[in-house]
Structure 1
């Protein structure tokens, strides 16, 4: 893999039946995304959480029967009856996406299962246990506090006495979904899973399906942890630029540790965060601003269904259902399409490499230069972060900054016909300019 990707997270529970997912594919294609990412759609445990998987080969009945459901739809015998149909529907989904030049990525969870998964009894040696021999619940650090999830059982991928069969189980599961047409895996809590296991899975899957990619969920990792995960063979890691204010040093300090070595993915919102509409008080120009900056900064970008429409309601991995679909508060699909199209046309916009910030001495302006890894291209980005104020920029000796005078304005909005050495321009609120030169 030599370039980044553009990912649309079609959150399954917000749409319902798999047949209905396909109704969104044309507009996803129109927005110039080349991947669709779906969260877990397997049968879940008692909590109903997408990430508490009870059976990796059975489906949540919502995606086969639609919504609302009856209590008997969740019975194991009925889930089993629908297994074949679920496989056929997922295969159809992947085929329909492929017709539009889009590949499908699936979210895999192998750090834990639902506490009521049959595997807990069938394969007790696959799980971690406490000093009393009880299966441990999975958990995570939340700002220094360890939070335990009672609906999850922690898999012992590192030290299980039956590790060979456990790892083979995961490999067979991945190959099963590849056989149905899945061509990418977003790997949940990747840094909690042994790197040796990832190496085993990635190498073996790619031996049979060379076009499959793996994306590591690495949010909250230190640069060292991120690089250790990446070395296991991942194609893309996830970065934390969403939480960066464009001023503090922490992000660039971390980014420089691995930029140019690994591809990374960013996002303005995801299924775990608040809706970005709420963060910007419904200002669509700032939503476009955020998407553009991230798209031009990082090799890969993703966003969640509803971002383009200014949805307000935070996704819930248990409660979300098709009745949560909202009326659009705005529609920035056209702008996303333009930004994604630009991103797809220039190699430098599909790389992660060193960023050189430009200080405008103005808190409401953000700018940076970036040079291609092979030194053949360079971009300069300047963004007005204000939702209200116009700002004039004046950069003398711009040709010196760009190392040449054949500069093009390739912005997604208004374009300057000629870019002069003394760059002088008034940025409207939320506007992002993108300048480009090829050597």
Structure 2
């Protein structure tokens, strides 16, 4: 099973030109991330949405020139290719790799492909191109700026699939090595098998992540089996109490590495959710990092940004002042994560519940049964909470338990355990069997 990755989402519209992306690489490296994920950088359709791609071979002008001038996209293409290759090379020099968004479930409704290859799209009963949509409660929400691709039944499927492969290989040649696959479970499994196998035959170090948020365990497993290296999970939304998450997670956790995050471009900023509580932000990141094989943050999480990303409106003027800086804590957590195999794996979680609901704990064993961790967290961001546990050695399967926490570390771990957890504190205990 593939070891986990640590991903920094450099949201491009918040930064500007590709030259400016590179200016962030040193501090990203200092936080011990090994991947940089960039949201769609292609030219968008009329809505301006990052996820309404108009032309997969042209760049959004902001990332090439630093300006919002769309008058000469074709003339900027060569420079865009040069800059993207430079971005990939600069990341590689610092021991990191670049990941891009792969949006092939739909295009912008005004994409030239709708005219050049109308047979690649789903149609309404009147022959018009179908807009994708989703249920919002009892209401159907249709996205009028998007055109639904028919990846499964198009009469010209062979050429459509070849188009996708050529596009991916183009960016792989420029140095992109990761592909975050948008709405992956809406796309036929055999298309993913075709794309992933062909890309990996030329670029064996390439990584594919399936965006599987909101799907059932059966859908996740079917998607993952197409050859994905990682899937995405909904750990972010789990309240650490409800049974549903562990039940679903348990169906696949020991088979498919997964990635979690405290926030992304679709969610509210976590700092806003917790009213700017720095300790809870650190705790949220630590818990996700220790629970799942892979972890990601969106630029600004480390600084307490509160303004929600908008896939249409976000621009460099939205960059916020720091409310706090937890970069060092993130660096420490990532360093610990990189040093222990068990922290780079997903496996079945055994929760431990306490009468004091501010405290939560869990154990996880490594896939080869040679390692075990115990994680304890104080979810109260304001008060100290005391944790008691008698028989910790039996729980861990031995006496040689060590404290590898990112914060204060205990020199001796007693069998009859008692400890005052500071606000938001996370303890991480480890044993090698």
Q: TM over 0.5, yes or no?
A: yes
Structure 1: runs of 5 or more not aligned: none
Distance in 1 (alpha carbons) for counterparts of 2:357 and 2:22: 43
Cα deviation code 1:9-47 (max 9, x no counterpart): 000000000000000000000000000000000000000
Match of 1:430 in 2: 424
Distance in 2 (alpha carbons) for counterparts of 1:177 and 1:142: 35
Distance in 1 (alpha carbons) for counterparts of 2:388 and 2:139: 47
SS in 1 for 2:24: helix
Stretches of 4+ moved more than 2 A in 1? 140-146
Match of 1:22 in 2: 22
Which of residues 224, 244, 254 in structure 1 aligns to 2:218?
A: 224
Distance in 1 (alpha carbons) for counterparts of 2:91 and 2:17: 16
Match of 1:2 in 2: 2
Cα deviation code 1:216-239 (max 9, x no counterpart): 000000100100100111100000
Match of 2:399 in 1: 405
1:11 aligns with 2:11: yes
Cα deviation code 1:260-287 (max 9, x no counterpart): 1000000000000000011000101000
Match of 2:158 in 1: 164
Distance in 2 (alpha carbons) for counterparts of 1:25 and 1:436: 32
Match of 1:91 in 2: 85
Cα deviation code 1:204-258 (max 9, x no counterpart): 0001100001000000001001001001111000000100000000100000000
1:48 aligns with 2:48: yes
Shift in Å, 1:393: 1.0
Cα deviation code 1:62-87 (max 9, x no counterpart): 001114x3xxx212xx1000100000
SS in 2 for 1:434: strand
Distance in 2 (alpha carbons) for counterparts of 1:145 and 1:417: 57
SS in 2 for 1:367: strand
Distance in 1 (alpha carbons) for counterparts of 2:321 and 2:215: 36
Cα deviation code 1:127-174 (max 9, x no counterpart): 000100000011123345321100000000010000000000000000
TM-score (norm 2): 0.99
SS in 2 for 1:424: strand
Distance in 2 (alpha carbons) for counterparts of 1:82 and 1:170: 22
Equivalent residues, number: 433
Match of 1:117 in 2: 111
Cα deviation code 1:82-137 (max 9, x no counterpart): 10000000000000000010011000100000000000000010000010000001
Question: How do 1:237-386 residues align onto structure 2 when only pairs under 5 Å count?
Answer: 237-386=231-380
SS in 2 for 1:282: coil
Q: Are the aligned partners of 2:192 and 2:226 in contact in 1 as well (CA < 8 Å)?
A: yes
RMSD between aligned residues: 0.8
Question: How do 1:123-202 residues align onto structure 2 when only pairs under 5 Å count?
Answer: 123-202=117-196
Distance in 2 (alpha carbons) for counterparts of 1:146 and 1:200: 32
Q: Are the aligned partners of 2:2 and 2:229 in contact in 1 as well (CA < 8 Å)?
A: no
Match of 2:70 in 1: 74
Cα deviation code 1:330-349 (max 9, x no counterpart): 00000000000000000000
Cα deviation code 1:271-320 (max 9, x no counterpart): 00000011000101000010000000000000100000000100000000
Structure 2: runs of 5 or more not aligned: none
